[in-house]
Amino acid sequence: MPLKRAANALAELCEIAAAVITAAIFVVMLAQIWFRYIQGGSIMWSEEICTMGLIWVVFLGSVSLVRDQAHVRVPLVVDAMPARLRRPLEALALVVTMAFLVFLAWLGFDAFNQGFHRTSPMLGISTRWIKLAIPFGAMLMAVLTLVAIAESLRPARSDTGAARPSSPTLSEK
């Protein structure tokens, strides 16, 4: 399914971006340790760049978790239901997740567009760009959730006639 492949590609791009940012944070922290304990000085902007990077890593990394349906969930109620009710309940959970992500994106865009942004003291970067991670990540997660909803509405049988698992992940081929 082309939509599924596009969703997987989007999630993989987010994984790569999160990995690059994480590696950059690691390098900056190592440099900070070197300068602080060996050189006797410090990198004044290291904390700011690491904090900004971590915020983006959280929202970009969450996209892959949505694709794989790996976020924390408690399937106790769904698992206790008869098999015929599990798929509709899982679809309902995806719809509720989608609504939450759209609401989060709306709040994030609102925060991004407000006028109460500060500028970081060392780097001179507006907090507006840090806040952009919220709607950006939420919208990407919403897109992947929409694909998961479409997948959950497909018939319960696969092309081979074998029953599909009740909660397929988007990364399954």
Reported as a single tens digit per residue, the pLDDT across 83-123 is 888 888 888 989 999 999 999 999 999 999 887 878 888 88
- Number of structural domains, the chain? 1
CA distance 144 to 98: 9
Which residue in this structure is represented by tokens 């609401």? 103
Asked if residue 160 belongs to a domain, the reply is no
Rounded CA-CA distance 83/103 in Å is: 31
Q: Is residue 164 part of a domain?
A: no
Q: Which two tokens stand for residue 30?
A: 């190592």
pLDDT of residue 159: 47
93 three-class SS: helix
**What's the pTM value of the predicted model, to 2 decimals?**
0.82
- Residue 35 in domain: yes
What distance in Å separates the CA atoms of residue 130 and residue 141, rounded to the nearest whole number?
Answer: 18
Percent share of the chain, pLDDT over 70: 89
- Asked whether residue 7 is domain-assigned, the answer is yes
Provide the domain limits for residue 28: 2-152
- Gap between the Cα atoms of 46 and 62, Å rounded: 24
- Which of 171, 172, 173, 156 minimizes the C-alpha distance to 63? 171
Residues whose CB falls within 8 Å of the CB of residue 37, separated by 6 or more in sequence, listed in order: none
> Is position 168 within any domain?
no
- d(CA 99, CA 60) in angstroms, rounded, equals 19
Asked whether residue 141 is assigned to any structural domain, the reply reads yes
